Structure 1
């Protein structure tokens, strides 16, 4: 970072010169003393903005108060980068608040300069009102986001309730194009896409360039969702013609998300958030398509964002709201410990993560676990799960020494964390015997890399842990790899088992032979989803080793489980 140093010029002399020059320009000259947090600004600025004078202290706080709320975060971050020394220049368009409490677009541009022997750091710059200047992107020559906001605000002030659409367009896999061919080719393709957007938007609205590979198309004149769809189809045809002109040396596509509105007093930032969400839906569907805004999906998305923040706070607050519920696992070959069949032979439990909070109540694992995995929060939560679960098993082993606990491993957790170290630490800190802990892996996550799964299972086995293959029978099941895994138990998914107990002869036949094959490979078999006594009678003929399901007990808290299922190591009369 090259910072100019005028060691022979004192700051006071330069300030006096700037004061004179202030009368020679329509811009407002600014000198920000970084160390003392003081500022000098052209006296004329006081006629438009509510300033305490042309020189004042607490500069950053006062300047920030003059920035519109929507732009304060951006302004603050940019200024912090300059003050901290990360950047030596400042160039930002933002909305400033005037004395009449209206907002006007301004540009603040400046550079860090050092003065005198003491190398006093000063941000030397100017503020220019740009409300009447059309802001164009340098490459595409399309209006920028600044112009988008100005255009929207102008119409909104006239009508307040608007009809039309806003569409966000995002170039698919632009990063890959730049990586393969370089940014020069990437810029050439962007210019072609920009030209196609310009041609296609005619009669439909106005196009804007907002980021390196993103566009916004806006119509505030009553256009409908049908019009938005027609525009997108025109754009795709134009892009296809562009590809043909370069003999298909590169194929490029765009995804789009559109939000239509009718006589709505909606704000631009809300529309942009909805458009951003909707284009992400289009990309999740494979890209190269248009998605229209769906209020139900967006409500779920907003709920997910709120829940995500709650989960972050819960982790920060010592995992507040997280619990482990325990579901009994029963010895299928010796279900009861007494002749009256009143004492179930519970040999272990599966620990299941639960979460609740005052705002959302009890949240389903099907809802919060995907959020944990998507955000990476599954890693700290799983460490808590190991720590808590292993310690609980150690406590129960004082009473029932062979009792074992099974815990699920997330594929994301395995891929993104040092899982072996996490498990070793939990074992060491809890004191539990490794042979009493079982880790459950779901087969589907590893179908593309069976060798990775083999290595992982082997590493756990070396620690003395057992490994179960969970949810076997869902989706694609690779029977061949089972002989190499050295897993302990094959858990047949409850949906698979239900079909067999419901009379499906095909699934009954498959379960019979999977169980037989598993036993020949020295694997135990656990059948999940046992809900009624008749299920036991139907499944016993297949000679399973373990049962699990609501018939034997629903997941419950540690205290409830201790009271209902933990038994002392004593013999019962049979």
Structure 2
């Protein structure tokens, strides 16, 4: 307490003579707080700290003699000179308070960021006798990240609020994420991953300097807050900063001997005075980073509200798809397009095609919603419903046209992530139909040669379920897999057929492939035959089947029965 006459602190003799007693008091008080209380006896070089500190830090005992030497083993080596400089100011009387954020070493050997605050207690001569205060593990309080020493997001938000109160403020956030950081951790270990995070933090600090601030977000992500504006006619400062960062990282990797190589992606968003929703601004930077990641990584994307709105719309559509599938496939309907058997001049089959009429979004093109179904995995339950509905319809039509066959498309998501063959065999058994009732179509793509897909497709053949390859010629055409996987039918993509009259190249490709397919005992179907002129032209090439608007566009089952079922084709 203070002496009423001269304002000096009394009790220094007690502190000096009985540090052990003071340590006991701290032990009791320490149970009342998450902080660690301490007293540094400056004159006698002694130190006492709460007993609970020994649980986290490598104190052999919490009452230390030769304090400055003993603390050296507790303080992180790089930060010890900063502490000594500050304490020297206190010892010489230049400062009467201690307020630092620096690192101690935890019992696991890893750095722990602390906030240390204390006040000087002077002796009767007005000289510093004691430093009394508290130490907080600020990593626990989510203010500073324990790995990088960067402030966390809550400090970013406070800083942004202050800046947005300034007149005419303009700035941007640049959020960075280390590409494939999970794989780096798995391959080299978490300690190596933490070293990369620390190196990146130091790299960002050195580049930004006093132009902005660096913050640690979650996981492998960091955020830069920089003053500056964007002008369409000038270079984007955020992207220029990103290029500097990438160059610095490449230089550091080169200096390290390429022990490991990594890249960073970034998303940026500009903001200015008057914007109030700080959380939304931060989320926008995160969304732009996400776009950079899914766009190929190692790139910087500026936030676009239009792209964000499209993304939100996609999520809304996906949610409606999910609801309708769970609601007994409400809004979904199969349309059927006739497949003409050229040899018999008759419609003896159809391709089942999914259509969706949403109560919220109206009719939507399959080209829009099918990729969403595949991305979410909803194609699996819907695919089962499509197959069941198509088989049931085919059985009904076989009573009118014996041998009628239904073509059903199978997504590679179904092939890779569900037991598609067993699902189909179960339906065939349950509905008591012949396996030839179906022709399973798979789209020609790079997926077709994956080990999983190849195994599943061969198992279809082992079960004598006919296979067709759809859209052949669109980008990954390979006659070897057509032969090795023993497809029964090859469907030539409509892009070759539609221009076949005007393109000698397309004509020759279709002609030669048809002849080659027939020599391999494959049947051939031409897609996209839309008018009589094209129809007459392709007849000379002797396809086995033809499909296209010339005969009919895809139509509901009732319309198919009326216009297409059991119809002869005149030519």
TM over 0.5: yes
Q: CA deviation at 1:161?
A: 9.1
Contact 1:278 1:293 in 2 (8 A): yes
Q: CA deviation at 1:437?
A: 0.6
C-alpha separation between the residues in 2 aligned to 1:482 and 1:178? Answer: 41
C-alpha separation between the residues in 2 aligned to 1:154 and 1:320? Answer: 51
Alignment-derived partner of residue 495 in structure 1:
495
1:532 aligns with 2:531: yes
C-alpha separation between the residues in 1 aligned to 2:560 and 2:380? Answer: 26
Q: CA deviation at 1:24?
A: 7.2
SS at match of 1:544: coil
- Mapping for residues 393-412 of structure 1, pairs under 5 Å: 393-412=394-413
- Mapping for residues 83-482 of structure 1, pairs under 5 Å: 135-156=143-164, 158=165, 163-219=170-226, 222=229, 226-262=236-272, 265=275, 267-335=277-345, 345-449=346-450, 453-482=453-482
Alignment-derived partner of residue 93 in structure 1:
none
C-alpha separation between the residues in 2 aligned to 1:223 and 1:300? Answer: 23
SS at match of 2:499: helix
C-alpha separation between the residues in 2 aligned to 1:243 and 1:135? Answer: 30
SS at match of 1:390: helix
Question: CA separation of 1:201/1:323 partners in 2, compared to 1, >3 Å: closer, same or farther?
Answer: farther
Question: CA separation of 1:185/1:526 partners in 2, compared to 1, >3 Å: closer, same or farther?
Answer: same
Alignment-derived partner of residue 116 in structure 1:
none
The count of corresponding residues between Structure 1 and Structure 2 is 438
C-alpha separation between the residues in 2 aligned to 1:312 and 1:328? Answer: 30
What whole-Å deviation, never above 9, does each CA across 1:312-331 have from its counterpart, x for those lacking one? 11122111122111111111
C-alpha separation between the residues in 1 aligned to 2:280 and 2:33? Answer: 38
Contact 1:348 1:403 in 2 (8 A): yes
C-alpha separation between the residues in 1 aligned to 2:541 and 2:246? Answer: 57
Q: CA deviation at 1:172?
A: 0.7
Indicate the RMSD between aligned Cα atoms, in angstroms.
Answer: 2.9
Provide the TM-score with structure 1 as the length reference.
0.71
C-alpha separation between the residues in 1 aligned to 2:185 and 2:420? Answer: 35
Question: CA separation of 1:401/1:204 partners in 2, compared to 1, >3 Å: closer, same or farther?
Answer: farther
Q: CA deviation at 1:443?
A: 2.4
Provide the TM-score with structure 2 as the length reference.
0.71
Q: CA deviation at 1:384?
A: 1.3
C-alpha separation between the residues in 2 aligned to 1:353 and 1:445? Answer: 24
Contact 2:500 2:506 in 1 (8 A): yes
C-alpha separation between the residues in 1 aligned to 2:212 and 2:343? Answer: 72
Question: CA separation of 1:400/1:151 partners in 2, compared to 1, >3 Å: closer, same or farther?
Answer: same
Q: CA deviation at 1:192?
A: 0.6
Q: CA deviation at 1:562?
A: 1.9
Alignment-derived partner of residue 563 in structure 2:
564
What whole-Å deviation, never above 9, does each CA across 1:230-252 have from its counterpart, x for those lacking one? 22122112212321331221112
Question: CA separation of 1:452/1:212 partners in 2, compared to 1, >3 Å: closer, same or farther?
Answer: closer
Question: CA separation of 1:161/1:389 partners in 2, compared to 1, >3 Å: closer, same or farther?
Answer: farther
Structure index of larger Rg: 2
Question: CA separation of 1:291/1:463 partners in 2, compared to 1, >3 Å: closer, same or farther?
Answer: same
Question: CA separation of 1:485/1:228 partners in 2, compared to 1, >3 Å: closer, same or farther?
Answer: same
What whole-Å deviation, never above 9, does each CA across 1:460-491 have from its counterpart, x for those lacking one? 23433211011001002111232222211110
Question: CA separation of 1:223/1:164 partners in 2, compared to 1, >3 Å: closer, same or farther?
Answer: farther
Question: CA separation of 1:203/1:394 partners in 2, compared to 1, >3 Å: closer, same or farther?
Answer: farther
Contact 2:175 2:221 in 1 (8 A): yes
Contact 2:472 2:490 in 1 (8 A): yes
Q: Which runs of 5+ in 1 are unaligned?
A: 1-20, 28-127, 336-344
Question: CA separation of 1:297/1:560 partners in 2, compared to 1, >3 Å: closer, same or farther?
Answer: same
C-alpha separation between the residues in 2 aligned to 1:512 and 1:233? Answer: 52
C-alpha separation between the residues in 2 aligned to 1:406 and 1:563? Answer: 20
SS at match of 2:495: helix
Contact 1:144 1:208 in 2 (8 A): yes
Q: CA deviation at 1:202?
A: 2.6
SS at match of 1:282: helix
Question: CA separation of 1:310/1:392 partners in 2, compared to 1, >3 Å: closer, same or farther?
Answer: same
SS at match of 1:480: helix
What whole-Å deviation, never above 9, does each CA across 1:148-172 have from its counterpart, x for those lacking one? 222234444x369963222221101
